Structure 1
Amino acid sequence: MTLETDYLVIGAGATALSFVDTLIAEDPEADVVIIDKHSAPGGHWNDAYSFVALHQPSATYGVESVPLGHDRVDQAGPNKGFYELASGAEVLAYFQSVMRDHLLPTGRVRYFPNCEYLGETTFRNIFSGEETTVKVRRKLVDTTYFATSVPSTHKRKFAVADGVRVEVPGKLPELWRAEEGLPSHVVILGAGKTAMDAGVWLLEAGFAPDAITWVKPRESWLINRIITQPGEEFFEGTVGGQLAIMKAAAKAESVAGIFHQLEKDGAMLRIDTGVEPEMFHYATISEGEVERLRTIGNVVRKGRVESIEPGRMILAEGEVEVPENALFVDCTASAVTPKPVSPQWQDDRIVLQLLHVPLVTLNAAVTAFVETNFDTDEEKNALCKPVTFVDDIDGYAGTLLGTGQNRFLWASNPKISQFLSQSRLDPAAPTVRWLKENAPERLAIASEMPAATMAAVPNLQKLVAEATAKRG
């Protein structure tokens, strides 16, 4: 079979749908074909564990033209007092609705699930084997750069002996009906946000803290959710948090110093204040969640697990005994692996990457806007400079610098600035619009941001150079 289209989009996840949504809004003539290996839109959300939820408020996630959530503030649980975080099921239902009720009815979007891309603008149905070649009039859009890994699909890097019970986090809510019965002890493997989510779930479900062992190869810095909130009631705190980041970046003698200052400012958290973090993945957490996780006292810090046997774990830096019937929860998948960056516009293709870390759907929307409103690839690439995702602590300087530079470019360009001023995906935009009409005097704090960002740039450049030299 042969098709013809303006844009062939590989992937139907959050970034792909955000890109397509803005693209067809900005270009009324654009025709799009979307292919994805999953049977439903939503990308990795189709594979995520059942109790997963957004890091960021629902109000600033998804596609521009379709709101997510109800702008509700949670009244109970670890997120109490903050704007709602859509569950994985809610996100999946949202993206299915975006495709079914918004994109497909335009008649300019065609969607092919259960299909893998073969290269050379050809794709194949996974089940039937039928191949389709697409004649692309404008651009191939590759949204697979992020290659998000989730526990249910990643390959384990440790050995498991017979008789050892290992599950992915998504199986935790099903423990009550498992043939093996309920475990008396649970071992969480991993130190990232998935492991934190698993720990909070276990505690909220009723597991006693001393019935949990947590294997943490590295400690992580965490963003305090209080500085990520939309809405006018949080405005000063949210903008104040962003100002604190730039002020710390302007003065710190090391990248670690930025984090320590932000911890004093209340913008950053860590679960164990006695351990120096080595990791930062932009995980966002509430103080309520941190308080719960601190009750888990049996924390193992002997590096990554290498193998598990009944009653024993072998780790990179030693062995640890555990109850023989312990359940191990594998949270070792890394959501995003840092990759080298390249220009987004590459002749006949667009490779979606990070521009404003960590707002992936905003990145995609801005890319689509620039694609439809500017002429040459050189001009487009000059306005959107990809930023590498941070893994270790030192990488934060480069991520801050790159994100800040892109924001400066966008603010300096009248077209993009106007687009962002109306964007629901840009966290501050809806609140700024409301304040301009209702309480303009409260915007004074936001006026400090450009100068604070510019003051931070020289020091961030120095810290980036030092980090690069350290890596050799």
Structure 2
Amino acid sequence: MAAPIDVDYLVIGAGAMGMAFVDTMLTDSNKTFAIVDRDTKPGGHWPHAYPFVRLHQPAAYYGVNSTPLGSSAIDRDGWNKGLYTLASGNEVSSYFERIMQDKFLPSGRVQYFPEHEYLGDREFRSNKNTKLYRASHVCCIVDATYSWTEIPSARPPPYHVEDGIDVVAPNDLPNKFHSSRFANFTVVGAGKTGIDSVLWLLGNNVETERITWIMPRDPYFLDREAFQPGPKFVASKQARTEGLGKAVMGSKTMEDFVKRQFDSGHVLQFDEDAAPTTFHCSTVSKLELEALRKVSDIVRKGRIVQVTEKEVSLQKGSHKPKPNNLYVDCTANAIAKMPLVPVFQEGKITLQPVRTCQQTFSAAFIAHVETTYESRALKNQLCGPVPMPDVPADFPLAILLTNLNTVRWYQHPKTYQWIRDSRLNMYGDFLPAPPEDPERHASFAAGLAAPTEQLSAKLLELVLDSPNKHIAQKILSENQNADSRL
């Protein structure tokens, strides 16, 4: 028989989004929680990450809203020189452990069930002794696993590997690196993990001619400098925002928009002669990009199908590998691109991004909305899901959906104050103080929203002329009956 658990919220997943949601709920309400997670520690993928991983966005905008992550130090040397120090994987993992042990559990309002499996229908079971638990039928389910993260070490390579060929996840790269068996290295995948692995090899003095980079799709990146916190970087953030606006307003087609982004320097590409075909919100510094460009043995023939001693078979051809080669598999998807569903449903909250590429801000914001408003329709209006981009054409759509959400946030005084105060909001520096007279807030919000609405109207035109046309048409249909100024 299942042991009863009496809580207000049953949270499935103790990853970054689940932790950010519970943190804000603890701060802004008196509710109780049970957190169920199959891992031994909180933090989602972070405890399993490769040893040289670092948070590629500023730590000031990551984690939970109540507690800062990282330091305020500026790197004085290296590829991140002049920018805020990047938090290490161990630092992020330890941070979430401290949040659980020092804040959540001492509150007396959180029960934590590590190494437990959620079975559905409010039931979960211990992976140690199979003890069964059931939460009250009136509690709300919070799915913090919907935007899940895949890591290379958690699954075999998604291609056939002949016996005797050495393929490792990045977690094993430092151990294998010192073996005299390997004279050459092939990095498979061009996402953040692939970038990190190439930079790790270069940082450990591996000559570029010993590195092969299999790049199924060329990525484009965001310039990390444009997202730095603090007064020193306000001008560069403002310039990026203005540059993005000019690129949008001056564009006639989606291709024109992407080209203008590159020309302005607000997005970066690995090779100017190879058009980028993927975008996953990764940031790089200009010095990192300069180092990456020194690798000349780039294989652009699609994804790997099979690896043998003499040949790498790919979707669009083959490649002859160098001898004594170690393959580093970096092909896992960072964050799954799942179908969008309403965040708020009967008895359930599904955590999803509500701002482009900002998962922990989004989870904390959803918690703010949950504690502030009663109407489910209003909650969903404020928390329109924003899909993770995969290809360049997805970026304008993500900006559009973020803008539509933002305009709605401005209209509600409590929500405007929350996003202005939130440490996770990288654009909080730009938001002016609201009027003291509540009667003036509507006109204040309208003035603040006007440029965003103008930008959104143009973005909608661009998205209508893209593979995401069906989503844009749905937006138009919904806005015919909604309070929108588009």
Output the TM-score relative to the length of structure 1.
0.93
Take 1:430 and 1:124, find their aligned partners in 2: how far apart are those partners?
A: 45
**Which residue type is aligned with residue 322 of structure 1?**
P
Q: Give the deviation of 1:374 after TM superposition.
A: 0.2
Corresponding residue for residue 57 of structure 2? 56
Q: Is the 8 A contact 1:36 1:114 kept in 2?
A: yes
Q: Is the 8 A contact 2:254 2:465 kept in 1?
A: no
Q: Where do residues 55-454 of structure 1 align in structure 2 (5 Å cutoff)?
A: 55-176=56-177, 178=179, 181-429=180-428, 450-454=449-453
Change (3 A) 1:203 1:255: same
- CA-to-aligned-CA distance 1:198-242 (integer Å, 9 cap, x gap): 111100011000000001111111001111111101001112112
**Which residue type is aligned with residue 153 of structure 1?**
A
Take 1:449 and 1:214, find their aligned partners in 2: how far apart are those partners?
A: 46
Q: Is the 8 A contact 2:225 2:285 kept in 1?
A: yes
Take 2:467 and 2:302, find their aligned partners in 1: how far apart are those partners?
A: 25
**What secondary structure, in the 3-state scheme, does the structure 1 residue paired with 2:8 have?**
strand
- CA-to-aligned-CA distance 1:238-288 (integer Å, 9 cap, x gap): 121122112212221223322321222221101111101111111111101
Q: Give the deviation of 1:175 after TM superposition.
A: 2.4
Take 2:299 and 2:42, find their aligned partners in 1: how far apart are those partners?
A: 38
Q: Give the deviation of 1:451 after TM superposition.
A: 4.4
Corresponding residue for residue 10 of structure 2? 8
**RMSD (Å), alpha carbons:** 1.9
Corresponding residue for residue 31 of structure 1? 32
**What secondary structure, in the 3-state scheme, does the structure 2 residue paired with 1:117 have?**
strand
Q: Give the deviation of 1:468 after TM superposition.
A: 3.8
Change (3 A) 1:471 1:317: farther
- CA-to-aligned-CA distance 1:38-80 (integer Å, 9 cap, x gap): 1000001122111111121111110011110121111121111
Take 1:385 and 1:2, find their aligned partners in 2: how far apart are those partners?
A: 34
Take 2:362 and 2:389, find their aligned partners in 1: how far apart are those partners?
A: 16
Take 2:129 and 2:245, find their aligned partners in 1: how far apart are those partners?
A: 53
**Which residue type is aligned with residue 39 of structure 1?**
T
Q: Is the 8 A contact 1:424 1:430 kept in 2?
A: no
Q: Give the deviation of 1:452 after TM superposition.
A: 3.8
- Range 125-134 or range 30-39, more displaced: 125-134
**Which residue type is aligned with residue 102 of structure 1?**
K
Corresponding residue for residue 458 of structure 1? 457
Q: Is the 8 A contact 1:255 1:396 kept in 2?
A: no
**Which residue type is aligned with residue 384 of structure 2?**
K
Take 1:283 and 1:297, find their aligned partners in 2: how far apart are those partners?
A: 21
Take 2:96 and 2:447, find their aligned partners in 1: how far apart are those partners?
A: 37
In structure 2, the gaps of 5 or more residues are 434-445, 472-486
Take 2:415 and 2:461, find their aligned partners in 1: how far apart are those partners?
A: 29
- CA-to-aligned-CA distance 1:290-309 (integer Å, 9 cap, x gap): 00000000001111110000
**Which residue type is aligned with residue 110 of structure 1?**
Q
**What secondary structure, in the 3-state scheme, does the structure 2 residue paired with 1:257 have?**
helix
Q: Is the 8 A contact 1:246 1:452 kept in 2?
A: no
Q: Give the deviation of 1:105 after TM superposition.
A: 0.6
**Which residue type is aligned with residue 13 of structure 1?**
G
- CA-to-aligned-CA distance 1:109-131 (integer Å, 9 cap, x gap): 11010011000100111121111
Q: Give the deviation of 1:182 after TM superposition.
A: 4.8
**What secondary structure, in the 3-state scheme, does the structure 1 residue paired with 2:187 have?**
strand
Paired residues in the alignment total 457
Change (3 A) 1:182 1:81: farther
Q: Give the deviation of 1:137 after TM superposition.
A: 3.3
**What secondary structure, in the 3-state scheme, does the structure 2 residue paired with 1:137 have?**
coil
**What secondary structure, in the 3-state scheme, does the structure 2 residue paired with 1:43 have?**
coil
Runs of 4+ in 1 over 6 A off after TM superposition: 431-434, 469-472
Change (3 A) 1:468 1:122: same
**Which residue type is aligned with residue 334 of structure 1?**
N
Q: Is the 8 A contact 2:181 2:324 kept in 1?
A: no
Q: Give the deviation of 1:469 after TM superposition.
A: 6.7
Output the TM-score relative to the length of structure 2.
0.90
Take 1:95 and 1:325, find their aligned partners in 2: how far apart are those partners?
A: 40
**Which residue type is aligned with residue 208 of structure 1?**
E
Q: Give the deviation of 1:84 after TM superposition.
A: 1.7
**Which residue type is aligned with residue 183 of structure 1?**
F
Q: Is the 8 A contact 1:6 1:31 kept in 2?
A: yes
- CA-to-aligned-CA distance 1:424-453 (integer Å, 9 cap, x gap): 10013268689xxxxxxxxxxxx9984442
Q: Is the 8 A contact 1:36 1:112 kept in 2?
A: yes
**Which residue type is aligned with residue 23 of structure 2?**
D
- CA-to-aligned-CA distance 1:113-159 (integer Å, 9 cap, x gap): 00110001001111211111111534110011111111111342210
**Which residue type is aligned with residue 297 of structure 2?**
N
**What secondary structure, in the 3-state scheme, does the structure 2 residue paired with 1:118 have?**
strand
Q: Is the 8 A contact 1:35 1:115 kept in 2?
A: yes
Q: Give the deviation of 1:2 after TM superposition.
A: 1.4
Q: Is the 8 A contact 1:122 1:132 kept in 2?
A: yes
Q: Is the 8 A contact 2:400 2:456 kept in 1?
A: yes
**Which residue type is aligned with residue 343 of structure 2?**
Q
- CA-to-aligned-CA distance 1:90-115 (integer Å, 9 cap, x gap): 00000000000011111001101001
**What secondary structure, in the 3-state scheme, does the structure 2 residue paired with 1:303 have?**
coil
Take 2:423 and 2:191, find their aligned partners in 1: how far apart are those partners?
A: 28
Q: Is the 8 A contact 1:20 1:368 kept in 2?
A: yes
Take 1:336 and 1:66, find their aligned partners in 2: how far apart are those partners?
A: 24
Change (3 A) 1:460 1:128: same
